[in-house]
Structure 1
Amino acid sequence: MDTVETHRGRHPVDEELVRRLIAGRFPRWAGLTVERFPSGGTVNAMYRLGDGMVVRLPLVEGGAKDVATELEWLPRLAPLLPTAVPEVLGAGEPAEGYPWPWSVYRWLGGENPEAGALSDPVPLAGDLAGFVAAMRSVTLPGAPDAYRGGPLASLDASTRAAIEELRGIPQEGVDCDAAVAAWEDALRAPDWDGPPVWLHADLMPGNLLVDGGRLASVIDFGCMGVGDPACDLFPAWNLLPAGARQVFRALLDVDDATWRRGRGRTLSQALIALPYYRRTNPAMAHNARHVIRAVLGDGG
């Protein structure tokens, strides 16, 4: 599925623009093929460059700062993690009418996992827990604040507004009263009172690549930084079935308060995403529906 227009201020990009950008910035790669890579992402477009590289271009101004974040931190994080992450091969600059920095990365193989279609989810749960634990153990100084790393209460107004919007879309079938109850339970959980930990902060299925059912790589680190460890529990509900979810929790030794905050954060993201993307991005909307069902059907 191709990336679709879902944000205002989106800058148009196509193969010809990418060819011109590459020729101007990296003439040694100018003869390589350029092909749009289908993606459900909403902030960046990706183009295969030859067989071994990918060009990643922000579609909106808000994604431009992610380029600098990845350029600075990915080379420092990569040797500390058990899973492959994007390797920056080149940093592009605004040119040819394109207004933002962009990047070239080494191509990472694999496919995005799909919630509800995992053939053997327990080993994948172990891989994900290993990645999250490794991120938490990072001690690199000077880390930025994670995009989603702050107090849960900061999401309250937008979450409640999304629930009310969903009340007006009965065909989505969301039990909005149950959503309110689940959200308020998360809000009652104590805030994280330990030191902030390193987070990927956007562990959506679209940012995971699997090979043979095992985690092969984690991509899109634009939201990374430090904050509440609950922020990296998203896969428990956006990907893993109930049994593997508990394996994931046990391996990370997650306390009750952090688990409740993680469930609330995952629910909040889905509640906000569903009305926003339901007509423009089928992949995002589909996963949001899955999360809402998973959270509201989860006993704890």
Structure 2
Amino acid sequence: MKMHANQLTVPPETVRTLVDQQFPEWRSLPVRSVTAQGTANAIFRIGDRFAARFPLESADVESTLRRLESEAEAARELACRTRFPTPEPVVLGEPGAGYPLPWSVQTWLPGDVATDEDPGESVEFARDVAALIADLRQIDTRGRTFAGTGRGGDLRSHDAWMETCFRNSEQLLDVRRLRHLWATSRSLPRGAAEDVMTHGDLIPGNVLVSAGRLAGILDVGGFGPADPSLDLVSAWHVLEAGPRQVLRDHLRCDGLEWERGRAWAFVQAMGLVWYYAESNPPMSRMGRRSLERILADTSLA
């Protein structure tokens, strides 16, 4: 079942043809599909070193190319700036062989995503995530501030989206309780906190685990300046209560910053449950699990 009304189909045969035509030096490398819960790209491995990413939603070529170039630039800026590995851009591919959009190739990182190897009870993993967030916050914004789209700015700008989520979740969730939580969260102030560099989407599918430790971070194209509390979404998306408190202690989060992190996780989780209920059940379950953690959280100051 398709996740999006305008979703494209990307067969392995198409990828093989595109690789052979545009990058003949890789003709001898196997191409194989990667089973993933991602919602934005179809992923294929090219040999052992590369991953090809094909946007799944139909769009015009120019805007897609600009987005892929922006994502590659963000990945280049982030590379080697934290103590954890991230994918590095290799090359951009062109439309062809029946696929209508540009596509990208980046380096492949080993490890299991946190949806396959659950690190939620690991104190060591919580310390790793805290170290990652601290590293990201230390990267120079170069005077840049939040771009004004998506998560990371004013919580209240998501009111219309949250209303859509509440309406579509009536048969799935305790919407009355969730509406009350949003009413108490949406006006949380930023205080004096300035924008810092963030990953922006620290969900389990973007977190690599190896031997119970953080092994790398995926989907880094959204790296950029935003609310410092944005990357705290990982506390509820990935961690259980004990390790979550460890992360908070290591980052020395005050009550306001912690509550804003919970609010950003709430915005994200509410959209996942209903939107992917039928088309991507694992993603829907991830949102549901995050909401359960949020509602059970007694650590808020």
Distance 1:178 1:67 in 2: 39
- Structural mapping, 1:59-74, within 5 Å: 59-61=56-58, 64=64, 65-74=66-75
- The answer (yes or no) to whether the contact 2:121–2:240 under 8 Å persists in 1 is no
Compared CA separation, residues 119 and 13, structure 1 to 2 (3 A):
closer
**Distance change >3 Å, CA 192–CA 28, structure 1 → 2:** farther
Change in CA separation of 1:115 and 1:252 when aligned onto 2, cut-off 3 Å? farther
Q: Name the amino acid aligned to 2:131.
A: G
SS of the residue aligned with 1:226? strand
Match of residue 219 from structure 2: 220
- Deviation readout 1:201-225 (Å, 9 max, x if unpaired): 1111000111001011101023222
Are the equivalent residues in 1 in contact too, given 2:141–2:225 (CA < 8 A)?
no
2:54 paired residue number: 57
Q: For 2:156, give the aligned amino acid.
A: A
Tell me by how many angstroms 1:275 deviates. Answer: 1.0
CA contact (8 A) 1:70 1:221 kept: yes
For the 8 Å contact 1:116–1:239, the answer to whether it is kept is: no
SS in 2 for 1:289: helix
AA aligned opposite 2:136? M
Residue 188 and residue 142 in structure 1: after superposition, are their counterparts in 2 closer, same or farther (change >3 A)?
closer
Once the two structures are superposed, residues 100-141 of structure 1 have per-residue CA deviations (whole angstroms, 9 ceiling, x without a partner) of 221112221110113994375111111111111111111153
Where does residue 251 of structure 1 map in the other structure? 250
Q: Which consecutive residues of structure 2, in runs of 5 or more, have no partner in the other structure?
A: none
Contact kept, 8 Å, 1:37 with 1:48, in 2: the verdict is yes
Task: State how far apart, in whole Å, the 1-side matches of 2:116 and 2:156 are.
Answer: 28
1:141 and 1:237 mapped to 2: Cα distance? 30
Counterpart mapping for 1:82-161 below 5 A: 82-114=83-115, 117-118=118-119, 120-141=121-142, 143=144, 145=147, 147-161=150-164
For 1:273, the equivalent position in structure 2 comes to: 272
The alignment status of 1:39 with 2:36, answered yes or no, reads: yes
**How far is 1:90 from its partner?**
2.0
Aligned 8 A contact 1:115 1:238 in 2:
no
CA distance in 1, matches of 2:221, 2:71: 6
C-alpha contact (below 8 Å) 2:169/2:274 kept by paired residues: yes
5+ residue gaps, structure 1, are none
> CA–CA distance in 2 between the matches of 1:116 and 1:77?
25
- Alpha-carbon spacing, 1:115–1:183, altered in 2? closer, same or farther (3 Å): farther
Q: TM-score, normalised by structure 1?
A: 0.91
Alpha-carbon distance between aligned partners in 1 of 2:297 and 2:258, rounded to the nearest angstrom? 12
Could you tell me which amino acid in structure 1 is paired with residue 14 of structure 2? L
Instruction: Specify the code of the residue in structure 1 equivalent to 2:199.
Output: H
Is 2:92–2:102's contact at 8 Å kept on the other side of the alignment? Answer: yes
Contact 2:120 2:240 in 1 (8 A): no
Deviates more, 1:238-247 or 1:49-58: 49-58
Q: Secondary structure at the match of 1:80?
A: coil
Aligned residue number for residue 15 of structure 2: 18
Measure, in 2, the Cα distance between the counterparts of 1:117 and 1:20: 36
Quote the offset at 1:165 in angstroms. 2.4
Say which is worse superposed, 156-165 or 26-35, in terms of deviation: 156-165
Is the CA contact 1:115–1:287 (under 8 Å) kept in the aligned structure 2?
A: no
2:29–2:46: 8 Å Cα contact kept in structure 1?
Answer: yes
Aligned length: 293
The structure 2 residue matched to 1:163, chosen from 162, 166, 175, is 166
2:26 to 26, 29, 43: 29
Q: Is the 8 A contact 2:41 2:56 kept in 1?
A: yes
The 1:152/1:192 distance shift into structure 2, 3 A limit, reads farther
Q: What CA distance in whole angstroms lies between the structure 1 residues aligned with 2:230 and 2:18?
A: 36
Q: 1:150 to 1:61 in 2, by over 3 A?
A: farther
Asked if structure 2 preserves the Cα contact closer than 8 Å seen for 1:46 and 1:56, the reply is yes
